[in-house]
Chain A
Amino acid sequence: MTEKIRSLDMEHITKRFPGVLACDDISIHVGEGEVLALVGENGAGKTTLMNILMGLYQQDEGRILINGEEVRFRGPEDAFAAGLGMVHQQYMLVPNMTVTENVALGYQQAWKPLKLDLKMVRDRVIEISEHYGLQVNPDAYIWQLSVGEQQRVELVKTLCLGARFLILDEPTSALTPQETDELILLLKRMKDELSIIFISHKLNEVKALSNKVTILRHGKVVFNGETDDYSPQEIAALMTGHEVQLPENKEPDMHGAPALVLKDVCVRSDRGFLALDGLDLTVHEGEIVGLAGVSGNGQRELAEAINGLRSVERGTITFFGVNLANKNPYYVIDHGMGYIPEERNVEGIVPPFAIRENFILKDSDRERFSHLSFLKKKSIEENAKRLRDDFDIRCPGTSTSAGSLSGGNIQKVILAREITRAPKFLIAVYPTRGLDMGAIEFIHRELLKKRREGIGILLVSEELDEIINLSDRIAVIYKGKIQKVLPHAEANRRNLGILMAGVNEDE
């Protein structure tokens, strides 16, 4: 075992990506037994900075010091050797391998010349999981585990490799509020033995866990301080650079006739199990129904089934009196459905196509954009210019390929196309995931505007704040069923969290 990490410094770190200055002269310091919260919006450079610390990226400028001595990590193996360990936001576990095998990937002591000593690894996994009270089954395959269990595996894995300094990248983003509380308790216990860097943009967690906070914005450190001295509101203001008040749905209930009625819908996932298992849900005209739930409980399949992208095994999807089950996407679009898909980069746009070509993705056949199959270049261009200006899409020109835009601008392209097609209904799946506050605000305002126009919206999200802010009613999905539908007034983080975890107190 190498010596304890008494202090860790990153000094003047700069990292450039094409067209982006991801980290701009960032310095941070963590002492023994400290928990540093690294706070900032998406794209502020937090993850990049930590990837540099782990040796995954090489900094262009700056240096890293451990206990006052400069270190150079050529890869994660060097960082492990120095006692660092990181739990990435997207779990780094190979799904078709067991827990033990996943740990063995980094556990070089077990790499005998002609044999992999899995027994040794397995013993180590058990030892660590008992020591920290982290229950894991060393023989389970990763794909069999829930998100929460996978996170425990990640922690165990990191600790097995000898980490005495933990980096956690948004560890709570896929957890229910209750799982989050458990994790925070656990980390509090561990902080006697370890130092921790904790990346988050959820300020209540930052307050609960950390003793120091560093705020990044656009790749720069904008603030350093003791967590206890500041309120979440103050930190939020520093994080975004200005007071952002996201719009809320405060208008009176004005819902009309049922627009979308799902009855007893059963749909299979790609893996073949029932992702939707008898789901019932109704959305009326002029209301926003938020669909809350931990991702992977059937949200994707629901959106795909409604939009004709996935076959429906049983049940009906009635859309203004027409059954959409097992119809093709064209039919669904033709009946006035608007859809903002989950994967904006591969589903929402055709990346190599120009922006103006992406705007007509659903309408190339309409007389507006083509005549006798020949595309009308002029009206396509005019349409593109108008949408670009109306939706403030930042791009060099309408012939720029959509794939080269930033996430926020891609989402605006999709939103512009879907909204201006004058849909009768809108399904928005994780519409603000990974976007900065400015873009989120814009999208929220547009959604509320549509609601005022009397359009029904099904909003799928994992951000509870977003759902609570915007929805008239909130449905909680768990394992392919609607647990419960709550009116806006009755919903709060606590009861939604309980429902998301599969507990229905009424029963």
Chain B
Amino acid sequence: MKMSRTFKFVYKLGIMLVAALAALLMASIILWMIGADVSQTFYTICFLPLTKTLHMTEVLIRAIPLCILALGISIAYRSGIINIGAEGQMAMGVLAFTAVALAAPDLPRPLLLPMALLAGVLGGGLWGFIPGILKAKLKVSELLSTVMLNYIAAQFYTFCLRVLMLDPAEKMTGSGTPQSMRLTANIELGRLSGRLHYGLFIALVLAVLVYLLMWKTTFGYKMRAAGSQDRAARYGGINVSKYLAISMIISGGFAGLAGGIEIAGVHRRAIEGVTNNYGFSGVVVALFGGLHPAGIVPASFLFGLLIYGSTLAPTRVGVPANIVQVMQGLIIIVIVTAQMVLSNKYLEARMCRRWNALFHKQKEVA
């Protein structure tokens, strides 16, 4: 049977529209349950931040870590490992970054900043290596091990801020906020406008590098082969375990770097809640961006928008900011479902028959 182009287009568009509507509908039901104004809420979250420059810069500073995290997650995902531990890897990156900054505050910026960022990469990379090697050598499910490592990292993070890196000023005043002292100006990333910092360019450069790595080099070829069908890759002489572990080191390294940049660009000290659920959002961004840098860059902007918009929601429309988590959960579900439906050749063939029948009938009538 022949499938016309029009049919294919309408079919794909139709599924995507239905999927989007399903997600919107379900989010609306939750909003309706708490008695919120549904259209106002969507407006506040999705469009309001676009209306002012200050809002836009806030959207972008959220998009930066999302983009870097999602790039890393996509590398791991393509290599056959679902990294939902970016949250913990990012926290470890922040700690490593802060440790370097605290240890050598007097080094000049051109030396200290790259060193601290590199430390962030290493911290995150190490934390990513653990689930990677556990999966490669002992077949431990990365879904479980990365989540567990998130909780461990979160505890370790609190411990460091509360004990090892506690701001001396806090010790004196004793307000009990676990955070580090304000770091030296030598680790600061410059700013463009508002709080928007040069990390933006780092994220964009990384997107290009990831594209080249994954699609233009033998290294990326092997990682993708290992991720698509590990048995075939092994058969082809590719050391699957090695690439699995490496992809997790890279993925963790990206998360650690995102953590370092977040401190260098935005907070300039290690504070609680710096990871802000970015690790999980990063998974959504990576999937939404089709696990490809060209999709991840716009997707990270979109989710930066949602995350920032949701912080406006409590005061503007009385909707708790947690709504963004609901939306992200729904988006993941809808994406993976729609992908399966789209790849269902049986359904497509059946629908095509219906389409043809309908089309021909109309012809006959005419």
Contacts and interface: CB of A to CB of B under 8 A. Distances in A.
A328 to B, nearest CB: 7
B345 A343 contact: no
Contacts of A184: none
A339 B235 contact: yes
Interface of B: 1, 216-219, 221-222, 224-225, 228-229, 231-239, 345-346, 348-349
Contact of A16 (B219, B232, B237, B349): B349
28 contacts: A18-B346, A18-B349, A19-B349, A309-B234, A332-B237, A334-B237, A339-B235, A343-B231, A346-B232, A347-B232, A347-B235, A349-B229, A350-B228, A350-B229, A350-B233, A351-B229, A351-B232, A352-B228, A353-B225, A353-B228, A361-B233, A365-B218, A373-B219, A374-B216, A374-B217, A374-B218, A375-B218, A375-B221
Contacts, number: 81
A374 to B, nearest CB: 6
A323 interface: no
Nearest to B219: A373
Interface in A363-387: 364-365, 369-370, 373-375
A17 interface: yes
B228 A361 contact: no
A171 B255 CA distance: 56
Contacts of B349: 16-19
Contacts of B235: 307, 309, 329, 339, 341, 347-348, 361
Contacts of B234: 309, 329
Contact of B232 (A332, A334, A350, A364): A350
A29 interface: no
A263 B157 CA distance: 57
Interface in A46-104: none
A-B pairs, top 5 by smallest CB distance, nearest first, are: A330-B237, A18-B345, A361-B236, A18-B349, A364-B218
Contacts of B237: 328-330, 332-334, 362
B365 to A, nearest CB: 24
Contacts of A19: 1, 345, 349
A277 interface: no
Contacts of B225: 350, 353, 361
Contacts of A362: 236-237
Interface string A99-133: 00000000000000000000000000000000000
A370 B217 CA distance: 8
Interface in A1-46: 16-19
Most chain A beta-carbon contacts within 10 A, residue among B222, B231, B237, B346: B237
Contacts of A334: 237
A79 B319 CA distance: 56
Contacts of B216: 374-375
B135 to A, nearest CB: 19
B282 to A, nearest CB: 23
Contacts of B224: 353
A430 B149 CA distance: 45
Contacts of A375: 216-218, 221
Interface residues of A, number: 34
B232 A361 contact: yes
Given A346-B229, A373-B217, A364 B239 contact: no
Contact of A357 (B1, B221, B238, B348): B221
A370 B220 CA distance: 12
A19 B217 CA distance: 35
Interface centre among B216, B224, B231, B346 (most CB of A within 10 A): B231
A222 to B, nearest CB: 23
B293 to A, nearest CB: 17
A348 B229 CA distance: 10
A373 B236 contact: no
Q: Which of A343, A365, A369 has the largest count of B CB atoms less than 10 A from its CB?
A: A365
A346 B234 CA distance: 11
B314 to A, nearest CB: 43
Contacts of B239: 328, 330
B96 to A, nearest CB: 29
Contacts of B345: 18-19
A39 to B, nearest CB: 28
Nearest to A21: B1
A460 to B, nearest CB: 15
A351 B236 CA distance: 13
Nearest to B225: A350
Contacts of A348: 232, 235
A373 B228 contact: no
A370 B228 contact: no
B76 to A, nearest CB: 17
A332 to B, nearest CB: 8
Contacts of B232: 346-351, 361
Nearest to A330: B237
Nearest to A16: B349
Interface string A450-470: 000000000000000000000
Contacts of A339: 235
A365 B221 CA distance: 10
A339 B237 CA distance: 11
A86 B239 CA distance: 44
Contacts of A349: 229, 232
Nearest to B346: A18
A333 B235 CA distance: 9
Interface in A313-358: 328-330, 332-334, 339, 341, 343, 346-353, 357
A333 B218 CA distance: 17
Nearest to B345: A18
A362 B222 CA distance: 10
A364 B237 CA distance: 10
B12 to A, nearest CB: 16
B279 to A, nearest CB: 27
Contacts of A341: 235
A332 B239 CA distance: 13
A40 to B, nearest CB: 23
Nearest to B348: A18
B218 A373 contact: yes
A351 B232 CA distance: 9
Contacts of A364: 218, 221-222
A140 to B, nearest CB: 30
A16 B346 CA distance: 9
B228 A351 contact: yes
A393 to B, nearest CB: 18
A483 to B, nearest CB: 28
Question: Taking each of B217, B224, B229, B346, which has the highest tally of chain A beta carbons within 10 Å of its own beta carbon?
Answer: B229
A334 B216 CA distance: 24
B236 A346 contact: no
Contacts of A347: 229, 231-232, 235
A370 B236 contact: no
A350 B348 CA distance: 24
A374 B221 CA distance: 10
A503 B161 CA distance: 74
Contacts of B229: 346-347, 349-352
B97 to A, nearest CB: 30
Nearest to A361: B236
A332 B237 CA distance: 8
Contacts of A357: 221
A338 B213 CA distance: 29
